[in-house]
Structure 1
Amino acid sequence: MRHTSTIAPQFYVTAPQPCPYLEGRMERKLFTALQGDGAQRLNDGLSKQGFRRSQNVLYRPSCADCAACMSARISVADFQPSRSQKRVIRRNAGLARRATSPWATEDQYALFRRYLESRHAAGGMADMDAFEFASMVEETPIRTRVVEYVEEATGDLIAVCLTDVLEDGVSMVYSFFDPDWTRHSLGTYIILDHIEIAREAELPHVYLGYWVPGSPKMGYKASFSGLEVHVGGQWEAMRDPEAYTSQVHPLSNDPISEQVAGITLPDGEPLRRG
């Protein structure tokens, strides 16, 4: 009989690069590979600790003197749609949802290109070709779905969300939509529908990625009731958004070694420093 032992994941830090959320800042990420038989459990465990997935990597911000980025999730039980969000749901009543395996299609890529050219022409994904797009969608070692939204009257693909299924919720990895549907508030609608997906599956959370005070790009997330943010190693209900700061401070974050030592693995054991 062959016995295998569990190998603790190795963590690394990226080189500093310009922050995409706050002008004039430099960002740095703590990351680890997501692979092997324990990938799903590792993703489940680290998502609860503020990590996000990108293909076969889990990461979270680890900037030297800035702690503005906070992982955000919606508590499904505590969410109540606002009047404007109810209008968004009604406005998109003509869309049908279909969830498929993580397989990239030509229609998805064509919509993705239109979305980038309209919304993020100068962004880091602007040069992504069809093969790189397929890798983004298909290279996943965990339970992932592509959630498509189709106009029922025409059959046209209107929006797509790459979605991970976690033990305690759904995680919205990346979404894009038809830029001609501006008045339909599709970004908001996709989140609202994922709250419904989580409710149907009896899962308690919808993970949204990062909320960044002071960043106009991230401000919309604070408009959802039931929002929780990961601060100081704990999840807390969102207070007044104005109470959170994006100011830099040399003591904002613990040293990398202490951050890694504080990570809890799926077996419940913290990582140990060497």
Structure 2
Amino acid sequence: MRHTLPIAPQFYVTAPQPCPYLEGRMERKLFTALHGEGATQLNDALSKQGFRRSQNVLYRPSCPDCAACLSARIRVADFRPSRTQRKVEKRNAHLKRQATSPWATEEQYALFRAYLDCRHADGGMADMDIFEFAAMIEETPIRSRVIEYRDASAGRRAELVAVCLTDVLDDGLSMVYSFYDPDRPATSLGTWIILDHIRIAREAGLPYVYLGYWVPGSPKMGYKARFSALEVYHRGQWHDLGDPESYSAETHPLSVEPIAEQVARLSLPDRRPTEG
């Protein structure tokens, strides 16, 4: 009789580095590797606890005195578009969606570079070359899709105008990273991508669309609070966002639990020993 021992994921903490959301602060992340036959179950479990995926890593902010970053998701069944969002839907109704396997193309990279150079020229991805871009898209141990949006209106070639790398979880869609044509600001393509993912999730019977982190006090993240039925993961539970102004980005030395306590509180997938 042979017994296989369960292997618990190992967690680590990154060195402090400048925060990309709040000026003058340092960020630190709690992370674990995502690999092997249990990758899907681990990704599903930790995504429900505020973690995000980047290639073969799952991470969650764990700054020593700041808890501003809150994982956000939309309850699909309760979402109702605002008047402005309905206009965005009509404005982009001609765009054609195509879901593909996670495979990077030169066309995607050209759009990605144009987006970064216009919107995030000083961000952490600013120097990403085509090989690093391909790794971001293709290195995934779970069920992922690349959702492309093309404009074939006015008889022109089907031009690629937006892309989203999307993970399929057991309870929803996780929008890992999206980018779009920065020369079309009037079309609100970023909002459109989210609205279409809500539509995809509804058609698939999935209850949530995960948007990444919402950060009070960060102009970059303010758009997420404009979606109805938004929940945030706060103090170990999902809550309705409510009034965005009620959340504080102020620092406090007791705002974050010690790393050991954070890890101890995580709910991990059951990986019982097997017999054979």
TM-based fold match above 0.5: yes
**What is the TM-score normalised by the length of structure 1?**
0.96
CA shift, 1:51, in A, is 0.2
Q: Does the 8 Å contact 2:88/2:188 carry over to 1?
A: yes
Distance in 1 (CA, whole Å) between partners of 2:271 and 2:234 is 20
Say whether residues 1:216 and 2:232 are aligned partners: no
Say whether residues 1:157 and 2:160 are aligned partners: yes
RMSD across aligned positions (CA) = 1.2
- How many residues are matched? 269
Say whether residues 1:85 and 2:88 are aligned partners: no
Amino acid at match of 2:94: G
- 1:128-139 correspondence to structure 2 within 5 Å: 128-139=128-139
Match of 2:44 in 1: 44
- 1:31-180 correspondence to structure 2 within 5 Å: 31-153=31-153, 154-180=157-183
Say whether residues 1:193 and 2:196 are aligned partners: yes
Q: Deviations over 1:209-240 (max 9, x none)?
A: 00000000000000000000000000001110
**What is the TM-score normalised by the length of structure 2?**
0.96
Amino acid at match of 2:13: V
CA shift, 1:266, in A, is 1.2
Q: 1:151 to 1:8 in 2, by over 3 A?
A: same
CA shift, 1:3, in A, is 4.7
CA shift, 1:181, in A, is 1.1
Secondary structure, aligned partner of 1:114: helix
Residue identity (%): 74
Amino acid at match of 2:76: V
CA shift, 1:180, in A, is 1.1
Distance in 1 (CA, whole Å) between partners of 2:228 and 2:167 is 22
Secondary structure, aligned partner of 1:140: coil
Distance in 1 (CA, whole Å) between partners of 2:245 and 2:6 is 44
- Structure 1 gaps, min length 5: 270-274
